Amino acid sequence: MTDVKKMDNSEPKIIAFCCHYCAFAAADLAGTLRLKYPPNVHIIRLPCTGKLDALYLLKAFEAGADGVFVAGCLEGSCHFISGNLRAKKRVRSIQGLLEKLGIGKERLEFFNLSSAQGDRFAQIAREMTERIKKLGSLGVNLSPNPSPKEGRELPPFPSGKGPGVRSVEKEQL
């Protein structure tokens, strides 16, 4: 479990769970095409959005995310057939839960796009950033065990280094 250090209190942190075959590829393409999208978005690559456990979404918020989106292939084009359909169900379920927790379902979203849609990825990233900016920072910053007795030093939120997470070149806004 990781802790998100905010560089600046007004800049929301958005976590994007992207499937390798479509969304991540689209994000990559956006980078290649030098399309502008906000640096607030941190991408986590999954082999398929079907790998998404509902728990990842809550853990993302616990780790300090102000907004989360899940991006998968277009319906009917999932590399693993129906992973994106299952992910959508899980997202909807957690959206309902977030409403009941007082966090609000708008902070979580699900998108479909194809690997060729670099522009769409940039648009999604901008859209979510705008949305979360309007909603404001969540102000939740939890370590898994708030008891100081643990004394565990937690590593910072990955900024692109480490296995499974590729850094995506993007323009600074």
Partner 1 sequence: MIVADQKPIEEILQMVEPYRRVLFLGCQSCVAVCMAGGEKEVGLLAAAVRLARKQQGRPIEITEGAVKRQCDDEFNEPWRKTIEQQEAVLSLACGVGVNKLSERFDLPILPALNTKFFGEVERQGIWTEVCAGCGNCILHLTGGICPIARCAKNLLNGPCGGVRADGTCEVSQNGPHPCAWVMIYERLGRLNQRKNIENLFAAKDWSSGRHGGPRRRIREDMLLEG
Which residues contact partner 1 by CB under 8 A? Answer: 53-55, 58-59, 61-62, 97, 100-103, 140, 142, 145-147
User: Between residues 22 and 63, which has the closer beta carbon with respect to partner 1?
Assistant: 63
Residue placing its CB nearer to partner 1 in the complex, 12 or 118: 12
> At closest approach, how far in Å is the CB of 31 from partner 1?
32
Q: If residue 72 lies in a helix (H) or strand (E), which one and from where to where? A: strand 67-72
131 CB-near residues (< 8 Å, 6+ apart): 67, 106, 109
Helix axes 118-135 and 23-32, enclosed angle (nearest 10): 100
Rg (CA), the chain: 16
Closer residue to partner 1, CB minimum distance, 97 or 165:
97
Query: CB 27 → partner 1: shortest distance, Å?
Result: 26
Nearer to partner 1, 59 or 79 (CB): 59
CA distances from 91 to 4, 6, 94, 112 (A): 22, 25, 5, 13
Least gap, CB of 9 to partner 1 (angstroms):
17
Shortest Å distance, C-beta 144 to partner 1: 9
